[in-house]
Amino acid sequence: MTAPIVHARKVGKNFGGYQALIDVDIDVHPGEVVCIIGPSGSGKTTFLRCINQLETIDSGALWVNGELAGFRVVNDVVHRLPAHEIARQRRVTGMVFQRFNLFPHKSALENVTEGPIHVLRQKRSEALAEAEALLDRVGLSAKKHSYPAALSGGQQQRVAIARALAMKPQLMLFDEPTSALDAELVGEVLSVMRDVAATGMTMVVVTHELNFAREVADKIVFMSEGRVVESGSPAQIFGSPTEERTRGFLSAVLAPNTNTP
């Protein structure tokens, strides 16, 4: 098997006296879709933010794309990387947040071209052509000149996905991308995510959409109270989980859905 693009070993993260992550071990290999599930407050989003270096780990080690994320070891001494090096490492990942985070004063097209032009130094003509293709890919060609305030939540999230893809990441991170959407808009975002997964993009998805996880994921990671409790294939986790905490969570979440086997 190829080397993992995300390799986490005994990762810990504290916020004051609160341990958000405790000895987290997770590997994500190129082309894999890994869905992280679990109750609120279990550390799922914190781990995603550590991958993207929006948070700094306090213990353990985290490699992304073969590089130690945020640090350099010189003569057995660990040094924090300067901001420009962290920014360079972060370009490997594209992140889609719960709340879209679009620039409100820029159109959909301008939101998608902002990074390629100003960060990747791409020619404006090339960035525009690629942005238009990406907006077409997420079904928003007709909305390319619209501003976020004129778009539905689902449309804004699809622009956010196009914006992340425009940076040509090797790894896409999704942090509860449908949690801020009305129920009728969830499907359009999940459909775009399915299409992204079908291209072979490596994805780590924090989600409560368990049917999506069952359908799309190569691996499910169940977290609770800052720890990885159990991981495995969707068939294993949903069909025959070994840990009582996993069984209890799935029973509580899936029980209202009488159509779920």
Could you state, in order of their start, the residue ranges of all structural domains in the chain? 104-166
| Sheet (strand 227-232) strand order | 93-96, 171-175, 202-206, 33-37, 219-224, 227-232
Mean pLDDT of the chain: 93
Q: What is the pLDDT of residue 180?
A: 86
Is residue 254 very low, low, confident or very high in pLDDT (cuts 50, 70, 90)?
Answer: confident
Task: Give the count of alpha carbons within 13 A of 140, CB side only.
Answer: 33
Q: What is the pLDDT of residue 1?
A: 61
Q: What is the pLDDT of residue 99?
A: 85
C-beta separation of 65 from 245 below 8 A: no
Is residue 256 very low, low, confident or very high in pLDDT (cuts 50, 70, 90)?
Answer: low
Q: What is the pLDDT of residue 257?
A: 52
Q: What is the pLDDT of residue 261?
A: 39
Tell me the per-residue pLDDT of 166-184, one tens digit each, with 9 for 90 and over. 999 999 999 999 998 888 8
Dihedral angle, C-alpha 143, 149, 152, 156, nearest 10 °: 70
d(CA 25, CA 152): 37
- The runs of H, that is alpha helices, within the chain are 44-51, 83-90, 108-118, 124-137, 153-166, 183-198, 210-216, 234-239, 244-254
| Residues pairing with 206 in the sheet | 36, 175
Q: What is the pTM of this model?
A: 0.93
C-beta separation of 156 from 146 below 8 A: no
Tell me the per-residue pLDDT of 175-227, one tens digit each, with 9 for 90 and over. 999 998 888 899 999 999 999 999 999 999 999 999 999 999 999 999 999 99
**Structure tokens of 141?**
């060609």
Tell me the per-residue pLDDT of 8-30, one tens digit each, with 9 for 90 and over. 999 999 999 899 999 999 999 99
How long is the chain? Answer: 261
d(CA 127, CA 109): 10
d(CA 246, CA 232): 12
Dihedral angle, C-alpha 197, 48, 180, 107, nearest 10 °: -70
C-beta separation of 51 from 90 below 8 A: no
**Structure tokens of 165?**
């893809």
| Residue 7: pLDDT over 80 | yes
Crossing angle of helices 108-118 and 124-137, rounded to 10°: 130
